A and B are shown apart, each in its own frame.
Chain A
Amino acid sequence: MYYDRLIFEISNPGRKGYSLPKSEFKEYSLSNNLQRNEEPMLPEVSELEVVRHYTNVSVKNFGIEKGFYPLGSCTMKYNPKINQDLSNMPEFSLHPYAPVKAAQGVLEIYYETQRILSELSGLHTFTLNPYAGAHGELIGLMIIKAYHQKQNDLKRTKIIVPDSAHGTNPATASVAGFDVVEVKSNMDGTVNVDDLKEALNDEIAGIMLTNPNTLGIFEKDILEISSLVHEAGGLLYYDGANLNPLLGLARPGDMGFDIMHINLHKTFSTPHGGGGPGSGPVGVVEHLVEFLPKPVVKKVNNQFDIEFNNDTTIGQISHFYGNIGVVLKAYSYLLSIGKENFKHIGGLSVLNANYIKESLKDDYLLPIKGICKHEFVFDGLIDKSSHVTTLDVAKRLLDYDVHPPTIYFPLIFKEALMIEPPETESKATIDNFITIMRKVAEEARTNPELVKGAPYNTVVKRLDEATAARNPIVKFRDIES
């Protein structure tokens, strides 16, 4: 049974789903002219109706505990249960204005998490205040700008972004007030060192790189690239979306990166929650620490403190101290994995990716041969005669209970299918995925119309996105009218 009712549609005047204690206070007056004229149309439902409604809504979703998510650049690994339990401990739910002496436990977690992230990444200090990866990028670029401003080097208004970069990179550079210089990548998405030399000059503030890049290729010339950028007076920003394969093996700081962000919801197992909350800690080398956003959590004589006063900081970028609830989960994960196991994460995720790549390269077009890191890209099916597109393949995978890979990204391949199998997926799961992918390729050859009409087994079929965008219906009242 397809359940599509909205909470407003099961509402009945007079029902309620809450109970509050009787007020012990008298009613104080509030002027009429400060009050709203009409009551908001909020639902009136009993508690069971609420629970049943959202249970029925929930089962229309796919989730990691249901099946495999080979989403490129998203690192959809298992979200351990214990992390959730520990983050729910009521002792951590303090008011943000609690005095530091009442918050030593949570401040220690903040401090220790940033310290472990510094060790793992080879950078000096992290702030955990940024709320998400894109937020981290923005803070990183503000730091680049603040650094050049402090040197009084005001000509540096441009940021180099390779054309293979995540879409957020150029958007962030622009929001931080930079002009974007896009440089073309080599065939394998790596930086073309000659083009880079050409692009570098005294107007370049820095470069944003992802390593391994979005095609899963490690920049083997990274040391040359970083010294070229530094010689030209620029800084290197590392987009941590692809950190997972290097965990415990190689560190962005050692490669010459000056600033990076980490997605705790990718590499460090915190749940994606259908799009957030995430957390995007930003790390910097020692000479940039002074620019980190305030407030800063410090350790002084074995006590933890919060510092607000600092003249060179870029300023405040969040109301309080970031998504602490997400940090608690990541800290729990860091302690669980521990020194012994970090290197297996990179190793096994890379093994999983290469195994899938080698197993499917006879059916799907592999533009970049050779060893990849945690992810790789197919440029659609090899056999394009039936005109089955990457979108069709993705939709057909839904029928087999697999979340499709990232599609149509990176933009350098027209039919891109980007696959990332995290280390928490077993050989059995991956073998099953390979079988399904081969089967879809076979169907595309023998019965292309079947694939083009997919999906069939989902609660809804393909959607009319054009009508939705032309005449947006974005709230319940729009449906009613």
Chain B
Amino acid sequence: MFKYLPHTEEDIKAMLEVVGVNNIEDLFSEIPAELMGQDLDVPFSHSELELQRRFQDLADKNTTLIPFVGAGAYDHYTPSVIRHIIERQEFLTAYTPYQPEISQGTLQYIFEYQSHICELTGMDVSNASMYDGATSTAEAMFMAIGAKKRDKILLSKTVNPNIIEVLKTYARFRNITIDYIDSIDGETSIEDFKQKNSKEYAGIIVQSPNFYGIIENYDGYREVLDETKSLFIMNSDISTLSVLKTPREYGVDIAIGDAQALGIPLGYGGPYIGYLATTKKLMRKMPGRICGVTKDTEGKRAFVLTLQAREQHIRREKANSNICSNQSLLALFVTVYLAVMGKKGLKEAQMNSFNATHYLYEQVTSLEGFDVVFNKEFFKDCVIKTTKDVSKINELLFDKGILGPLDLELFDPTMKNYLLFSATEKRTKKEIDLLVSVLEVA
């Protein structure tokens, strides 16, 4: 038999006898014969060595490039200890912690994760994580719609277009209307927001740093929303909140976003991890799992999933979300990342990224044919306009082993020749200078 199947012929015989049938086929006798035994066009079994060869062949078809693009996926440094910890079988192979007595490991790191998310966002309560930053934004939209019993939402045009796409899909099927707030000079227009806001809207969704990397200032938003009792929903790459003004300081009700930038490898887009944090007032409207502290019968401190009555397995069709998992192992990943990097390391990595991106910006905009677009403060993404041919630029960079900037025309036809660059603490001066030298002659 195959290596993952432990049954010997004798085992099978003895077991069939207990069951009272002659052979394994008899266990499937009620399935109509016409449904059984199709010939499948699937590969034959690979031994481990053949499997390794096959994967190496496939790996060789990929080209590893030095990324100078972020736009929602950032190439930050991953400390070595993380992989060793998250691959311990106790974490990796465990099921959802429904039996708390034998899941204290998972429950404890979820509690630590929630604590970290609350520290960084300033919010009162975080759930145990969500699929990614885009779907956590969609869940925040559902949460606002459910809490306010209004079916319209305002969305800033400076939000990452992929997140907007996901919101549009989720909204369409639930008959939610999305209305957009204009952007002026790369930033959400507070004037447009003031004009459009009304009691018809459950809330507003904004992002900072926004898609263009610009750090938006939301002073004054809370007061506008209070007039209509609407909710304030803010998306951020959580790593930037080690430095930037927190959602809580802006009076946000629901803080959401991706936590990939906390050292999670690029992995061709996933698995990443979304976070969702809110106020005490909205805690019981929050989707997903939450872990809390309690005591056991002997008075020992212990951790347990709590507020489960909100969830789909109890509320069924009345639940506001159908989420029944979290990105648990990634929650452990970022928890360990934050433990290793700590208070100083996280900020240092982020400020190094900030400085590297600003150096890149300064060098590139000083070149002939490259220009400043928005005169705004940015974090680790920046937009630069060029008079040169964008696809030619990216071809030349590719030949030097560089993943060049994102062509913003792909997302917005009015942004022809606009490039979105990014650098992290992993980029050296030498690499940036190489990038600049290619751009110079492009």
Contacts and interface: CB of A to CB of B under 8 A. Distances in A.
A and B associate in one complex: yes
Nearest to B309: A469
A316 B283 contact: no
A351 B25 CA distance: 10
B131 A96 contact: no
A271 B93 contact: yes
Given A79-B93, A91-B59, A171-B317, A50 B339 contact: yes
Interface stretch (B177-185, B195-203, B223-231, B319-327): B319-327
Given A33-B217, A57-B109, A78 B4 contact: yes
B79 A18 contact: yes
A258 B378 CA distance: 48
B256 interface: no
Interface core residue of A98, A254, A394, A461 (most chain B CB under 10 Å): A98
- Which 9 pairs show the lowest CB-CB distances between chains A and B? A338-B45, A320-B269, A315-B169, A273-B329, A61-B105, A105-B61, A96-B269, A171-B312, A275-B328
A36 B246 contact: yes
A74 to B, nearest CB: 6
Contacts, number: 657
A61 B102 contact: yes
B31 interface: yes
A175 B302 contact: no
Contact of A167 (B21, B71, B312): B312
Interface stretch (A378-386, A440-448, A470-478): A470-478
A301 interface: no
Interface in B21-41: 21, 24, 26-32, 34-38, 40-41
Nearest to B11: A427
B168 interface: yes
B370 interface: no
Contacts of A116: 42-43
A318 B170 CA distance: 11
A58 B292 contact: no
A77 B404 CA distance: 42
Interface stretch (A2-10, A193-201, A228-236, A282-290): A2-10
A461 B325 contact: no
Interface string A310-333: 000011111111111110000010
Given A78-B4, A99-B398, A120 B65 contact: no
Interface in A99-124: 99, 101-106, 108-109, 116, 119-120, 122
B317 A174 contact: yes
Interface stretch (B186-194, B344-352, B434-442): B344-352
Interface residues of B, number: 203
Contacts of B60: 91, 105
A300 interface: no
Contact of B81 (A50, A59, A350, A426): A50
A435 interface: no
Interface residues of A, number: 193
Nearest to B208: A34
A335 B43 contact: yes
Interface in A266-316: 269, 271-278, 293, 314-316
A173 interface: yes
B281 interface: no
Interface in B205-225: 215, 217, 219
B172 interface: yes
Interface in A162-200: 167-168, 170-177, 180
Contact of B46 (A57, A222, A272, A338): A338
Contacts of B63: 98, 101-103
B106 A274 contact: yes
16 contacts: A36-B241, A82-B51, A171-B322, A220-B32, A249-B37, A272-B95, A274-B94, A315-B172, A321-B269, A336-B45, A354-B15, A355-B19, A403-B102, A423-B4, A472-B125, A475-B124
Contact of A335 (B5, B46, B398): B46
Given A6-B112, A54-B336, A80-B4, A106 B62 contact: yes
Contact of A95 (B19, B67, B101, B322): B67
Nearest to B332: A274
Contacts of B173: 141-142, 145, 176-177, 314
A60 interface: yes
B298 interface: yes
A79 B329 CA distance: 15
Contacts of A102: 62-65, 398, 403
Nearest to A338: B45
Contact of B328 (A63, A142, A273, A315): A273
A438 interface: no
B355 interface: yes
Given A272-B95, A274-B106, A44 B349 contact: no
A341 B7 CA distance: 13
Contacts of B354: 28, 30
A365 interface: no
Contacts of B346: 42
A18 B7 contact: no
A319 B51 contact: no
B14 to A, nearest CB: 7
A104 B63 CA distance: 9
A62 interface: yes
Contact of A69 (B95, B109, B292, B345): B95
A394 B98 CA distance: 11
B101 A462 contact: yes
A321 B134 CA distance: 12
Contacts of A398: 99, 101-102
Given A347-B24, A403-B99, 19 more contacts: A7-B335, A20-B425, A25-B429, A36-B122, A57-B104, A58-B88, A222-B32, A254-B38, A272-B96, A278-B325, A316-B166, A316-B168, A319-B133, A325-B267, A348-B24, A351-B19, A461-B101, A461-B300, A465-B304
A135 B267 CA distance: 20
Interface string B263-287: 0011111111000000000010000
A94 B165 contact: no
Given A18-B345, A142-B169, A272-B96, A338 B42 contact: yes
Interface string A47-86: 1001101110111111111100101001011111010101
B213 to A, nearest CB: 13
Nearest to A345: B5
A319 B312 contact: no
Given A25-B429, A36-B241, A175-B174, A475 B340 contact: no
A274 B97 contact: yes
A170 B317 contact: yes
A97 B58 CA distance: 19
B243 A36 contact: yes
Contacts of B81: 17, 47, 50-51
B62 A465 contact: no
Q: Which of A23, A142, A321 has the most CB of B within 10 A?
A: A23
A336 B92 CA distance: 20
A40 B298 CA distance: 34
B118 interface: yes
B367 interface: no
A40 B119 contact: yes
Contacts of B296: 460-464
A42 B377 CA distance: 26
A354 B114 CA distance: 42
